[in-house]
Structure formats: C-alpha cells, structure tokens
Structure 1
C-alpha cells in the first residue's frame, strides 16, 4: 500500500505477510498462498466482456485471456484503492506511479470510450510504462477517466444514472452524483459517428466524480464476502451489522429503481487506508441498468433468494423511510411516462406496507 510493503512473494511462490491488518480483504488469511495472490490480482483487471476491452488490450499488446499478466503489466494500479504490485527490479515509488496524482495515458481513455485505435503506434517504452486506470476499472459499459480542474471524473454511457440520481436525492438516500457530460468534453474523445450512434439509440454520456482517495479505499461486497468465507462468517449478516440503516435503504432504493444490476462489485464499503478498517458504506452507484421493463426482479443483496419488493418491504417496515419526496417532484426528463408511473406505483406499494 503506497510505499509500505504488505506481502512479499518469493520466486518459489511462498508468501510472507508483512502487514496483515492492511492487506486487501481477500488476502487477510494467515496462510495466504500464491494462488490467492494471483486470484486477487486477476480480479483487479477489466473483464473481456467490457465494451472495447479487446481494443484496449490489443493496443497495449496485452493478452486477452491472462488477467494476471495484465495486472502485472499495469502494476495493479487502480483508482479504487492504494494497492499496487512492485517487482524487484522496479525502482519507482508510489509518488511516481499512482493514478491519483500523475498524468494518465489519455490515448487509452479514448480507446475505452470510443474504441478508436487505428492511428496509435505505441513505442515499446510506452507499453512498459502503462499509466491508466482503464485496465482496472470494472463494469461492462464503455467508460473512461478524465481529469478536469485537478479532479478525476468517470465518463460513461448510461442515461439512467441521471433519473436515478434525481430519485435517490428526493428520497435522501446517499448515492454518487451524476451529470450529463458537456459537449466540449465529449468532442475530445468521441468521433462524430460514435456520437450519432449514441444519440440514435437514445443514450447519453454522463460523468461522476471519483469518490475514493489515497487515504480512503473501496472494498466491494465481493471482496468482503471472500474475507468472511475465510473466517466462517455470514457476509450478509456482517454487512448489515456494519450499518443496518444503509443496508436497508439500499433494498428500498433498488426496488424503487427496479434495479437488476446490484451485483457483488456494485456495492461495498469504505476502508481507511491507515488502519485497514472498514468505516462504513460507499454511497450507492452504477444505476445504468435500472428501470427495467419487467416486474419481479430478484434481489442480489440478500442472503435468501427474494424479490426486490420483498426485501424492500421488510426494510420499509423497519426504518419507515419517508417516500413523499417522489410525489413532490416532476417526472425526470430521461424517463418515459410509463417508467415514471411505475416508479410512483412501486413507491405507493411500499407506503402501504
């Protein structure tokens, strides 16, 4: 973490723990193995199913099937936390390589958002010094990080982030704020053809500010669950114990939004980097697959297989969240009348619980 060694991996595969309390949660095992380390490193990199993943990897001459090799090539650097992989011959410091402070390889950002790769001829030295968060930014949609006025913003295709933001604001549920990206920003990384395609399918480019930092990391529920399994703990019960009101509000939010994409990497907790301890829930994020047009969506955040409505109804009985803010707001511009009617119907159903 930063300049502090946490785990030393020998050439023979033996692992020596140097700072147990600040290890990544999936590696907080007294008998951590090289296989454990490889799995953690591999899980840090983008999935081949992400939009333009092949174009990104091809441009960097990186393998498409060996995620561990991809992670080593970019030092495992991410904007979700302050961990990285430093090999013996690497003389760089955290201050020289981290993504929070240093310039990003913007040509990779352009590829990740538009798929354009043809006019780049990369020198070998560029490939040896990959400096981009795009290789460790998870999710399936086209997205890319851009620095503006000293702050980092994630741009992505996802119009439903905007109405989800408005609805969660009206309900007072903590979440990540999204805005529609400005034309001058979009023009810097999208071709006219790509912009026309996005407009033709009724989508928009949106952006949100980075919510982690050099002092505060995100621990996904997937990582937290792996930690709990090591010690025989029930991850769902432990997640609710950390902050039960936030856990219950997430159930209500997902039902109101009819969100079918709250998978284990799409929610989680903040960790204090100095202590390695969880400090609370991350604000809710990633709602570009909300407002699905079918009912009876299953919850992905409960131990038992229940519907979003069942999880939300149980939560509402306990915390009695005030839902009146929805009746006072106008229909979000990016929702159809039918979608907005469904939102109000779901809210009304919860109010009658």
Structure 2
C-alpha cells in the first residue's frame, strides 16, 4: 500500500505494517515525524473521513455498505481522496493513476450528494460497480451540517444547510477580513438533490441552503491547525507561536472576526493554512470559513485559537490593540439577511466594545 501526492509515492506500508518513507518533505504534516508507525498512518487516514456525528453520515455510510465505526476502513474504501488536498492511498492491486481518480476533475457519484443533502436515496440503487469505484468527496468532507459538493460550469461548490454563513460573509467583507464568500443556493442547483418536502422543511425551521466555491486546488492544499499542531508537538514547537509567525495579521484578524461574530465553533479543523504541493511548504493562511454556528446569544465564549484560556472578547481586545481594525463600515450597514434585529444590535455592541474605546 502506498500514500501518494498525485502520482508521486511518498510512503509505502508493507505487508508487515512497516512504513518506509520515500519523500519526507511532501508528507502530510501529521506524518512528518521520525519513525512513522502503522498506528500513525492509521490515525492520519482515519481523521480524513467524516464523523458519524455529521448530518446523514449514517445514511451515507449505509448506502455504500461501509462501517460506521471503522473510519480507517472507510478511508481505504474511497482511497482517502478529498478536495482538501492531493493525497491518496493506493492498494497493491490498484492500477489507477491520479488523473483517473482525483476528485477535482472526474465525475462525482451524485447519488451520494443527494443522500448527503437530504438523507434519502430515492433514485439510485447501489450496484457492485458503485461500491467498487466510490468516487465522492462526501466521505472525506468534515463538519457536522448537511452538505454536498456539486460541480457547476466554473468549478466545484459546497452546498450546505447554514443560513448564518450569509450575514457572516457580509460582516467580514465590511471589515476587510479575508474569508470564503457564501451565497444562497438557487433552486435549479439543488432541485436534483432535494425533494420539495425537504426544501419546505428547511424553510420551515428557518434555515437555508447556501454555497461557496472550492478554495483548494490540485496544487494548493489546506493544512488544518489540528494537523499543524501534531507536527509542531512532534518537534517540541509551540503550535500557537508558530501559527503567529506564519502571518501575524491574519491570526489577529481571526480573533477580531470571531468575537464580533460571536463564533463558538472555531475548532482546530475550522482554520488553517495553505500548502504548496510542489514544495510541501506552508504559504499562508486559508481565508476564514465555516460560520454557521456564529451569532450565538450568550456572552463569555471562550477562544479556541489562543494558547491561554481567555474569552473571545479578551482575544479580540489584544488583537485590536495592535491592528486597529476599522469597524466603521458596520455602522452604515443594514441588518443582513437571516439575522434578527436583536442579533444585529448585539453584533454592533460587540464591535463597539473593541472599536469604540481607547484600548
């Protein structure tokens, strides 16, 4: 079995479970350690697959007759292919090439998209060929909300249940903080994947399907902070200090964004860095993404992106003291779609707490 970057073998796991490194500098950051063991490889591969806590994860796995508890087996079944990077796993009997299997270019198994967005597989019975050639990013797309990848004429888009992405995107644009832009999905985009009943249910609970364009490519990958942290700890480096060194401004802007949005979901897989696949080196921060748990209605939310246990407010005050981010654009905005007036007033109050005083 081999781990590859496109068609470049990086690591080989022999029949005895011994891992032989072929090209260390291009390995995933979570595997860039001395004396890689089979357990290390299994942990890395398992962490690539969807959590059973994701909406409709059980339905996705059941449709493909895959284990709900063995994430490593799921990873091997789909070759570990993801839209996050260009790594994949090739078994000894597999003769496929990157061009034949990669998700960036090849047609996706759209019946899985339907299940991932609606929980139902009404039109496509499973065949042995489908199971043998699983070709979907849904098994390696992380996060908890219902979501699915759909290819449009200009690229791949992630459609998800998450109305708060819309106002978060508007606010971050006003603050001139780099982020992934979201828009409400058109009916023509999702009619093939959602029944009328499902669409009515989404609207009835006050939610919406939104989408954003894929921000990685075959040549530029994402490294989550979770994986970066594993790398740093293997070499006794402080991951937070190293993250600041990569781009201090981007790191501090994240503190300001999360406080103003009152985002309680910036866990270690929800931020990270871009990696150049040719060199294996980190080249900067990813734009901020995944804000469907923002605008929480309680104060004192703890930061998940600082080394010390401090609140989002304290982290933002420290960041604003240095950056002096201009928040005046927020005061001229109208309440964005999907926010209540109360939520908007709370946001403006938070912004004023760090931008309207001499700190």
TM class by smaller structure: over 0.9
The 2-side partners of 1:248 and 1:150 are apart by: 33
Whether 1:336 aligns to 2:340 is yes
Q: Aligned to 2:169, which of 142, 145, 165?
A: 165
Structure 1 position 145, deviation (Å):
0.1
The 1-side partners of 2:254 and 2:177 are apart by: 8
The 2-side partners of 1:11 and 1:193 are apart by: 50
Q: Aligned to 1:86, which of 90, 112, 125?
A: 90
Please, which moves more after superposition, 311-320 or 329-338?
A: 329-338
The 2-side partners of 1:297 and 1:191 are apart by: 37
Alignment of 1:229-308 (within 5 A): 229-308=233-312
Structure 2: runs of 5+ lacking an equivalent: none
Whether 1:227 aligns to 2:234 is no
1:29 aligns with: 33
Alignment of 1:1-353 (within 5 A): 1-351=5-355, 352=357, 353=359
Structure 1 position 150, deviation (Å):
4.1
Structure 1 position 157, deviation (Å):
0.2
Structure 1 position 287, deviation (Å):
0.2
The 2-side partners of 1:284 and 1:317 are apart by: 21
The 2-side partners of 1:119 and 1:326 are apart by: 46
Aligned-partner SS, 1:57: helix
The 2-side partners of 1:305 and 1:192 are apart by: 46
Q: How many residues align?
A: 353
Aligned-partner SS, 1:84: strand
Please, which moves more after superposition, 42-51 or 178-187?
A: 178-187
Aligned-partner SS, 1:6: strand
The 2-side partners of 1:117 and 1:328 are apart by: 46
Structure 1 position 118, deviation (Å):
4.8
1:99-129 Cα distance to aligned partner (Å, 9 max, x none): 0000000000000000012543211121010
The 1-side partners of 2:175 and 2:123 are apart by: 47
The 2-side partners of 1:118 and 1:175 are apart by: 36
Structure 1: runs of 5+ lacking an equivalent: none
The 2-side partners of 1:66 and 1:204 are apart by: 32
Runs (4+) of structure 1 exceeding 3 A deviation are none
1:208-254 Cα distance to aligned partner (Å, 9 max, x none): 00000000000000000000010000001100110000000000000
Aligned-partner SS, 1:212: coil
RMSD value over aligned CA atoms? Answer: 0.7
